[in-house]
Amino acid sequence: MGRRFGPAPRTPMADTSDYTAPSRVGILARQSAGVLISLAFTFLGLLLVTFIIARVVPIDPVLSILGDRATEAQIAAERTRLGLDKPMIEQFGIYLWQAVHGDLGVSIRTKQPVISEIAQYFPATLELATLGTLVGVLLGVPAGVLAATKPGSWADQIVRLIGLMGYSMPVFWLGLMGLLLFYGVLDWVGGPGRLDAAYDMMFQFEVTAHTGMILIDTALAGRWDMFSNAISHIILPASLLGYLSMAYISRMTRSFMMNELGQEYITTARVKGMPERRVIWVHAMKNVMVPLITVVALSYAYLLEGAVLTETIFGWPGLGAYITDALLVGDMPSVLGGTIVVGACYIGLNMVSDLLYKLVDPRART
């Protein structure tokens, strides 16, 4: 309320007539430059740390590909071919130089360009994480609101219990039980993998992979049989991830909402006789949205990193399993490439949530 009656915001333009305001373009350019420089440093730090960690773990990538039978000469030749005989700092320099030129190198393990591997695995993760987050938000926010409006009630207790289970039950156990029940016994959903075997073969040759996301590609191709098969396969892992993020989102929503409901403007609204639904979902929710966006963005980013165990159980060829496998065999180009994508996701989501703040909070628009 204070905002409306406070002094008018002071801008340089209003202050003095002879003050020359920097042009909008100038401000924008300076801001963008700042953002870009900080981005560059973030990436550099991220890569450097990953690079060093990968080099200190006692896994010899050459031994892991050549195996036990390789001769010393073959090992030495492979080491030279991969550039591993150079000093570490030089290796890092070479990597950076190539990365800046859009070349993330070639996977030591599979010999495929890392860029094309990521183009293969990331869409699968993106599809799964997006659906998972959607489920998490659609269930988590109402559950949190419900719990906040009736603290201590049975509804609150149930939400708390569900949240606690989501936090504490091992995801591989939940996944396996889910598979056993919904796929094994009830036959409601498709099994592990992104499609049934028959559709899998058809998809490879009959559908153009515009995005790599099966739901979108099949929809674009008008292959609704394949689309519905893909839905039946993604729904269980997505619900599982959705449940995990719901647990987090509902707890956070509850605490944000309880905080808002104690504010004076809510009392005022109630006193004015506004219907409770409107008070909660319009007045309070508007303010809850701001911190909630951060929570949702973080949980989305977390899922985009890849849910290794979920991917393993559901035979889902996603980014998490990709990075983990690569790390275990010392396949550095793949690990670094994956890290860049994850880093980019975090940064991208941060920018999106900044944008959303502006949408929901007028204060952030200036």
# chain residues binding another protein, by CB under 8 A: 68
CA 312, CA 175: separation in Å to the nearest integer? Answer: 10
Q: Which of 119, 220, 231, 258 binds another protein (CB under 8 A)?
A: 231
Amino acid identity of residue 290, one-letter, is V
Of the two residues 83 and 93, which places its CB atom closer to another protein in the complex? 83
CA gap 17, 21 in Å, rounded: 10
Site string for another protein, 251-290 (x = CB under 8 A): -------------------------------x---x----
Report d(CA 341, CA 98) in Å as an integer.
16
Return the number of the residue (46 or 326) whose C-beta is nearest another protein.
326
By the rule CB under 8 A, 84 interacts with another protein:
no
315 sits near another protein (criterion: CB under 8 A): yes
Between 203 and 346, CB nearer to another protein: 203
d(CA 83, CA 171): 39
**230 neighbors 195 (Cβ within 8 angstroms):** yes
Site for another protein in 129-188 (CB under 8 A): 131, 134-135, 138, 176, 179-180, 183-184, 187-188
Residue from 174, 321, 327, 349 binding another protein (CB under 8 A): 321
Which one, 96 or 289, has the nearer CB to another protein? 289
| Min separation Cβ 314 and another protein, Å | 7
d(CA 336, CA 47): 7
The least CB distance from residue 37 to another protein, in Å, is 32
The residue within the footprint of another protein, chosen from 31, 38, 42, 74 (CB under 8 A), is 74
Q: Which is nearer to another protein, 91 or 228 (CB)?
A: 228
Long-range contacts of the stretch 111-115 (C-beta < 8 A, 24+): 114/333, 114/334, 114/336, 114/337, 115/337
Among 46, 129, 214, 234, binds another protein (CB under 8 A): 234
The residue with tokens 């091992």 is: 170
For another protein, the closer CB: 100 or 197: 197
Closest CA to 112 of 326, 312, 339: 326
* CA neighbor of 280 nearest in space, from 254, 304, 312, 306: 254
Q: Please state the length of the chain.
A: 366
Among 51, 243, 302, 314, binds another protein (CB under 8 A): 314
Give 130 or 259: the residue with its C-beta nearer to another protein.
130
**Segment 193-196 long-range contacts (CB within 8 Å, at least 24 positions apart):** 193/233, 193/314, 193/315, 193/316, 194/124, 194/230, 194/233, 194/234, 194/316, 194/317, 195/226, 195/229, 195/230, 195/233, 196/229, 196/233
Q: Using CB atoms within 10 A of its CB, is residue 9 exposed (0-12), middle (13-18) or buried (19+)?
A: exposed
> Hey, which residues between 184 and 213 contact another protein (CB under 8 A)?
184, 187-193, 196-201, 204
Question: Out of 72, 208, 222, 271, which residue is the one contacting another protein (CB under 8 A)?
Answer: 72
One residue of 92, 105, 109, 241 binding another protein per CB under 8 A: 109
CA 15 to chain centroid, in Å, comes to: 44
Does residue 313 bind another protein (CB under 8 A)? yes
Considering only 225, 265, 267, 348, the residue that binds another protein (CB under 8 A) is 225
Q: Which is nearer to another protein, 25 or 197 (CB)?
A: 197
Q: Among residues 162, 306, 180, which one has the least CA distance to residue 236?
A: 180
Say how far apart CA 232 and CA 194 lie, in whole Å.
Answer: 9
Contact 218, 230 (CB under 8 A): yes
Near another protein by CB under 8 A: residue from 2, 6, 9, 67: 67
Give the interface with another protein as residue ranges (CB under 8 A).
Answer: 58-60, 63-72, 74, 77, 107, 109-112, 117, 120, 131, 134-135, 138, 176, 179-180, 183-184, 187-193, 196-201, 204, 225, 228-229, 231-232, 234-236, 239, 282, 286, 312-315, 317, 321-322, 325, 329-330, 359-360
